[in-house]
């Protein structure tokens, strides 16, 4: 006789599933949170940055003795790269340009690293370029030179900013919420099963633990105990939760032990009564799953009856 130890195996099964599910939910949440730190880029310079860039062009013209020509509108070349163009030609010295750019960019919230290149308007060739890099060191060639008057454009590029996407952060809570709801419902289900058994134990005149076979809706299937209403199959203090279709199929076979159960009956009871049309292959797959569930007890077999259906032999 099996004695009731539903609380033990239910809690053991619950803890194992909770552990694996926790790792899955944690992994998904970490991936989503990591995606929140995406590389952000400005398609257009913000107003403050645009004014700073125009001021760079303004000071470059003043140092070339030009106080009348215009600095043209700042344009976005690509992500985090901006172009300063001018109305007229001008000359400049690299040292002066470096000083102007450094002083003006210090007024922005952009990182300290950047690249500056001066290109020829007509041939789009790089006339002068330098890089400020706090990690690898600055590259500043051509210092002390004077570049002759010409049509130039100045391009300034920044490393991509990393921005935090709060939308992705909110999404990370979705799997956590679903996991919480799932575990709460599962805990309630286990508690209901245990309360049912405890109520039966209290009703036992001897005051001892009542055998599982004596409790309604709990059927012996070989060495297994089948809790039909809960869809739980137990063996040696270990349990498995059957799917709804597996539970229905096993219930029908148990109710007709050692008798042939037709495929048509199984199809009707499990699928067609719910308005779902299936083929016999669906029944075969479902029975194959049940055989695996029952494989721990060799005394329980589900055999094919050619042309008719299945028979559970216990």
- For residue range 47-69, what is the model confidence (pLDDT) as tens digits? 888 889 999 999 999 999 998 99
Which two three-digit tokens encode residue 290?
């049940």
Long-range contacts of 214-222 (CB under 8 A, 24+ apart): 215/4, 219/254, 221/250, 221/254, 221/294, 221/297, 221/300, 221/312, 221/314, 222/294, 222/297, 222/299, 222/300, 222/314
Q: Which is more confident, 274 or 285?
A: 285
Q: Say if residues 193 and 230 touch (Cβ distance below 8 Å).
A: yes
Q: Tell me: pLDDT of 244 over 80.
A: yes
Residues in the chain: 314
Q: Which of 138, 159, 180 is the last residue before a domain boundary?
A: 159
In a domain, 34, yes or no: no
Which two three-digit tokens encode residue 267?
């199809």
**150-208 per-position pLDDT tens digit:** 899 999 988 876 655 656 556 666 766 666 666 666 666 656 655 655 555 555 454 44
Q: Which of 159, 181, 205 is the last residue before a domain boundary?
A: 159
pLDDT of res. 2: 42
In a domain, 23, yes or no: no
pLDDT of res. 27: 65
**Pick from 22-31, 105-114, 135-144, 293-302: least confident:** 22-31
Check whether residue 228 and residue 132 sit in a common domain: no
224 burial class (0-12, 13-18, 19+ CB within 10 angstroms)? buried
Share the mean pLDDT of the chain: 78
Check whether residue 54 and residue 145 sit in a common domain: yes
165 burial class (0-12, 13-18, 19+ CB within 10 angstroms)? middle
pLDDT of res. 56: 92
Check whether residue 54 and residue 155 sit in a common domain: yes
Check whether residue 145 and residue 222 sit in a common domain: no
In a domain, 176, yes or no: no
In a domain, 93, yes or no: yes
Check whether residue 130 and residue 233 sit in a common domain: no
**262-280 per-position pLDDT tens digit:** 989 999 999 888 888 888 8
Q: Which of 109, 126, 159 is the last residue before a domain boundary?
A: 159
In a domain, 144, yes or no: yes
In a domain, 185, yes or no: no
Check whether residue 143 and residue 65 sit in a common domain: yes
168/120 Cα distance (integer angstroms):
43
Q: Say if residues 113 and 158 touch (Cβ distance below 8 Å).
A: yes
pLDDT of res. 88: 92
257 burial class (0-12, 13-18, 19+ CB within 10 angstroms)? middle
In a domain, 271, yes or no: yes
pLDDT of res. 212: 43
pLDDT of res. 141: 81
In a domain, 296, yes or no: yes
Number of domains in the chain: 2
Residue 155: which domain range? Answer: 47-159
Which two three-digit tokens encode residue 87?
């109305």
Check whether residue 63 and residue 153 sit in a common domain: yes
- Quick one: average pLDDT of 280-293? 91
Mean pLDDT is highest, among 21-35, 171-185, 188-202, 232-246, for 232-246
Q: What is the CATH number of the domain that holds 255?
A: 1.10.10.10
Q: Say if residues 60 and 67 touch (Cβ distance below 8 Å).
A: no
């Amino acid at each position: 006789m099996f004695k009731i130890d539903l609380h033990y195996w239910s809690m053991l099964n619950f803890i194992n599933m909770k552990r694996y599910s926790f790792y899955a939910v944690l992994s998904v949440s970490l991936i989503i949170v990591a995606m929140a730190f995406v590389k952000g880029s400005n398609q257009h310079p913000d107003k403050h940055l645009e004014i700073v860039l125009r001021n760079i062009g303004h000071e470059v013209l003043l140092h070339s003795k030009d106080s009348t020509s215009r600095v043209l509108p700042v344009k976005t070349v690509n992500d985090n790269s901006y172009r300063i163009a001018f109305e007229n030609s001008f000359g400049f010295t690299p040292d002066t340009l470096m000083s102007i750019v450094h002083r003006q960019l210090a007024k922005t919230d952009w990182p300290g690293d950047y690249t500056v290149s001066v290109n020829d308007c007509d041939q789009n060739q790089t006339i002068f370029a330098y890089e400020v890099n706090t990690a690898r060191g600055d590259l500043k060639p051509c210092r002390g030179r004077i570049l002759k008057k010409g049509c130039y454009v100045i391009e300034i590029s920044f490393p991509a900013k990393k921005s935090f996407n709060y939308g992705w952060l909110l999404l990370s809570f979705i799997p956590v919420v679903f996991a919480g709801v799932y575990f709460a419902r599962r805990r309630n289900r286990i508690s209901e099963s245990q309360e049912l058994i405890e109520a039966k134990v209290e009703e036992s005149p001897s005051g001892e633990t009542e055998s599982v076979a004596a409790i309604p809706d709990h059927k012996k299937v070989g060495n297994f105990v089948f809790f039909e209403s809960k869809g739980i199959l137990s063996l040696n203090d270990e349990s498995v939760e059957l799917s709804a279709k597996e539970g229905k199929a096993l219930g029908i076979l148990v109710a007709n032990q050692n008798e042939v159960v037709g495929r048509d009956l199984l199809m009707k009871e499990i699928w067609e009564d719910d308005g779902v049309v299936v083929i016999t292959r669906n029944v075969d797959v479902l029975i194959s799953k049940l055989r695996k569930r029952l494989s721990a007890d060799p005394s329980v077999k589900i055999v094919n009856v050619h042309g008719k259906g299945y028979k559970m032999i216990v």
